[in-house]
Amino acid sequence: MAKSRRVRAALALLATTSLLVTTACSKSDTPSGNELYKNPVTITWWHNFNTDGEGKTLWAKIANDFHALHPTVTVEVVPIETNDLQRNRLPAALLTNDPPDVFQAWGGGEMVEQVAAGYVKDITDLVQPEVASIGAAAKIWSVDGKQYGLPYNFGVEGFWYNKDIFKQAGIAAPPTTFDDLKADITKLKTVAGVAPIAVGAGDSWPAAHWWYNFALHDCSASAVQAAATKQKFDDPCFIKAGDDLKSFLDLKAFQDGFLGTPGQTGAGSSAGMVANGKAAMELMGHWNSGVIQGLTADKKVPSFLGWFPFPTTSGTPTPSTVMGGGDGYSVSKKAPPEAVEFLKYLVNLDNQKAFAATGAGIPVVKGAEAGLTDPNLQAISKATQSASAVNLWLDTQLGAKAGTPMNTAIVAIFAGTGTSQGVVDALKKATAQ
Amino acid sequence: MTSVTQTVDPADRAIARPAGPRPVQVSKASRERRKWFEIIGLTAPAFIIFSSFVLLPIGFAAYYSLFRWNGVGWPHEFRGLYYYFGEYGALRDPVFRSSLRNTGIVLVGSLLLQGPFALAIALLLNRKFRGRAVFRLLVFVPYVLAEVTVGVIFSQMLQYGGPANSLLNSLGINTIDWLGNTHVVIWTLLIVLTWKYTGFALILFLAGLANVPDELSEAAAIDGASWWQIQRHITLPLLGPTIRTWVFLSMIGSLQVFDVVWVIASRAVRGLGAGSVIATYMVDNGYTSHLWGLGNAVAVILFIISFVTALLCQRFLLRRDVDGALSGRVS
């Protein structure tokens, strides 16, 4: 008898506990609109402006402004180095019960995975005006027609170069064709103590971007689309991309010891080399002026910094699809409704103009580009608008599972041990696994 | 056995003391029951913690390693031993084999470099001279520094255009690509690990040396033995147990090394297998690539290697020391 009484007590306890749990959950899951700004909430915000600069300052200011506007909302700002954030911190945090409310999102395959796992809030109905104002770029932060985030920064990739060093080497204008680029590299080699091109191959992805750009030049739009969406890599253009990269590496244009060079951290990184006049140029996304700014002694964008788009290869028609990407934010599923309001506030015209003025990136909301003062960013903004299509970074588009092995296989080509076939094999292997 | 009787003793005394109106009549059976309550009560917390934080995770790792799983929800796509022996399983991946080889280099290299090095310093520092404490502190400082701190310091110093190479150049030595050359990077890591962990061996050896009675060396000195002979025939043999313990700890530490390698070796050289060890391979391929089945398979392989190593060490290396301790025999 005693036994059954104990069992009954245990069952009762279990029932109460589960009742408590369900009520607790259902309560937090049903936010009603009129409760907005009623209860004090703290929003944690993970972003990647980790180096000191105007971008980091502005983000802190926006968080404070929002708090001043809505005193019930406190925004806890957590800046984290981008690669660490994307590859290590976010995947771990999203697995827990306490993910950041607003977090950096790059779109593409990663977002598809996050949405499938149920981490991200569907904000389609809440952000329609913002999406309309942002236009096509907002699509990268959507999955199956539903909006799971908003960009604040979007642009195409190109070369960041040192005008002074180019002048020193006797180069009048930045190259427009690939043959020009090769000729310029030969000229740049005559400048002592300077590497023609810096690449942060130690972090893998900066090296991989070279292959992506060759692939975009060698492949038709449909071949790239088939690779990204159907994971088909049989088109010979992907082999040719590797061959092109190999013959480019034979020029020995990159700095010595590039496999140990990080992309963005410290004076010895590839961005640091450009910032400190140790390299003439670097192929990098539109955020690079913000990174370079943070790696100079005076924390200002150096006056010698220029930008030109990836040159066209002879033989192939002018590419209409350009490699690019951007930064956005998603809201985690359990975040309070105020988090969505904060995201909308973040991309309003005033804040986008203020963001443009920092020189840390390219704003996405129409009209905000008027706030761009930096001539390089104006050039990128123009190039982004004139491109008929922008293809997201391939590793982001494919997601971590295929993106990471692909980048490693490309790095193997840089190391001299990999083959063009190796990249395609790695992609096929990763998607088969 | 002894420990059991000891724990029962105070209980008996407690029972013997008249407490309250209850008579002091305690049957043998209830005393026996009380003994078991105590044993269970005292070991249960440790047992529960050990099972839930050690045994259970090991079991889960083994279970997860049989599934294709991206870390979300409960795994259901059963793959059997695919991630161990399959076409793309760890054991058939050349990068994993490189990681195994690198771990082996770290293990053997640590023993060969740190042991003699620390022993030499310990013998020197065991003599009495002015400023001995300062020297001891200096050698021990690297061990006290956090692994990540050491990693960041060295990854900055060893950059291609960094201070280490500037120093070499000013000495007329060619630049070495410490971090980017796929043939060099594992030796770079070994040097940093040696720098970091020699202090640990040293502190153990110094403690061991403190237990070597001075009378023995004094007697030998009177008999005309040289300093070198004393070290060779008296100090070293008496230091044996300490050295064997260090060998065991060093091997287990080498097998599981992660932090220093993670910070110093770039993602690129790790991905190529040139600068990866078992633990970094596990994180790079299991965690970062979202192949949790593979990651857990590697974790299980690492566990088996460490476990077998530990057993072999207990059986052959530490047997004499452990025997002596348990039987109370003084060696």
B156 vs A202, A266, A433: nearest CB: A266
pLDDT confidence bin for B102, thresholds 50/70/90: very high
To the nearest whole Å, the CA of A429 is away from the closest chain B CA by 8
8 Å CB contact of B160 and A408: no
Q: Say if residue B132's pLDDT is above 80.
A: yes
pLDDT score at A316: 54
Q: Has domain A157-324+392-432 been given CATH number 3.40.30.10? A: no
How far is residue A410's CA from residue A429's CA, in Å, rounded to a whole number? 14
pLDDT score at A158: 95
Two tokens, residue A290: 């913000």
pLDDT score at B99: 96
pLDDT score at B28: 84
Nearest to A364 by CA among A105, A157, A152: A152
How far is residue B220's CA from residue B235's CA, in Å, rounded to a whole number? 11
How far is residue A150's CA from residue A153's CA, in Å, rounded to a whole number? 9
pLDDT confidence bin for B293, thresholds 50/70/90: very high
- Considering only A20-29, B162-171, B181-190, which range has the smallest mean pLDDT? A20-29
Tokens 């724990």 belong to which residue? B7
Q: Which residues pair with A47 in a beta bridge?
A: A79
8 Å CB contact of B272 and A258: no
8 Å CB contact of A260 and B68: no
Conformational region of residue A277, where left means phi above 0, alpha means psi within -120 to 50, and beta covers everything else = left
A279-284, strands of its sheet edge to edge: A195-198, A279-284, A158-162, A305-309
- Reported ipTM: 0.77
- Considering only B42-51, B125-134, B239-248, which range has the smallest mean pLDDT? B125-134
Which residue in B has a C-alpha nearest to residue A92's C-alpha?
B287
How far is residue B109's CA from residue B104's CA, in Å, rounded to a whole number? 8
pLDDT score at A315: 54
How far is residue A102's CA from residue A63's CA, in Å, rounded to a whole number? 12
pLDDT score at B62: 95
Q: Do domains A38-155+326-391 and A157-324+392-432 have the same CATH topology?
A: yes
Between A24 and B290, where is the model more confident? Answer: B290
pLDDT score at B151: 95
CB B250 within 8 A of CB B110: yes
To the nearest whole Å, the CA of A327 is away from the closest chain B CA by 20
Flag whether residue B287 sits within 8 Å of chain A, measured between CB atoms.
Answer: yes
Q: Residue A228: how many CA atoms within 13 Å on its side-chain side?
A: 23
Q: Say if residue B148's pLDDT is above 70.
A: yes
Flag whether residue B178 sits within 8 Å of chain A, measured between CB atoms.
Answer: yes
Extents of the domains making up chain A = 38-155+326-391, 157-324+392-432
B288 vs A87, A266, A417: nearest CB: A87
How far is residue A75's CA from residue A64's CA, in Å, rounded to a whole number? 7
pLDDT score at B8: 44
pLDDT score at A247: 95
pLDDT score at A116: 87
Flag whether residue B90 sits within 8 Å of chain A, measured between CB atoms.
Answer: no
pLDDT score at B2: 41
Between B22 and B235, where is the model more confident? Answer: B235
Q: What is the pLDDT along chain A (433 residues), one digit of tens a residue?
A: 444 555 555 555 555 445 444 444 444 444 444 578 888 999 999 999 887 778 899 999 999 999 999 999 999 999 998 878 887 889 889 888 899 999 999 888 888 888 988 999 999 999 999 998 887 788 889 888 899 999 999 999 999 999 999 999 999 999 988 899 999 999 999 999 999 999 999 999 999 999 999 998 888 878 887 887 788 899 999 999 999 999 999 999 999 999 999 998 888 899 999 999 999 999 999 889 888 988 998 888 899 999 999 988 755 555 567 888 889 999 999 999 999 999 999 999 999 999 998 877 899 988 898 889 889 999 998 888 777 778 889 988 888 788 888 999 999 999 999 999 999 999 988 887 6
CB B326 within 8 A of CB B87: no
How far is residue B120's CA from residue B279's CA, in Å, rounded to a whole number? 31
Mean pLDDT of chain B: 87
8 Å CB contact of A433 and B182: no
Phi, psi of A389 (to 5 degrees): -150, 145
Number of CB pairs, chain A paired with chain B, less than 8 A apart: 116
> Within 10 A of A145 (CB to CB), how many other CB atoms are there?
7
To the nearest whole Å, the CA of A403 is away from the closest chain B CA by 8
8 Å CB contact of A259 and B160: no
How far is residue B272's CA from residue A408's CA, in Å, rounded to a whole number? 7
Residues 6+ apart with CB under 8 A from A389: A221, A320, A321, A322
Flag whether residue B72 sits within 8 Å of chain A, measured between CB atoms.
Answer: yes
pLDDT score at B76: 85
Which residue in B has a C-alpha nearest to residue A402's C-alpha?
B289
All structural domains of chain B, each given as residue ranges with its CATH number in brackets, are: 2-64 (no CATH), 86-327 (1.10.3720.10)
Sign of the Cα pseudo-torsion (B40, B43, B44, B47, in order): negative
Q: Say if residue B92's pLDDT is above 50.
A: yes
DSSP for A305-334, written as a single string: EEEEEPPBPTTSPPPSEEEEEEEEEEEBTT
Flag whether residue A400 sits within 8 Å of chain B, measured between CB atoms.
Answer: yes
Q: Which fold has domain A38-155+326-391?
A: D-Maltodextrin-Binding Protein; domain 2 (3.40.190)
To the nearest whole Å, the CA of B23 is away from the closest chain A CA by 28
8 Å CB contact of B177 and A268: no
8 Å CB contact of B266 and A262: yes
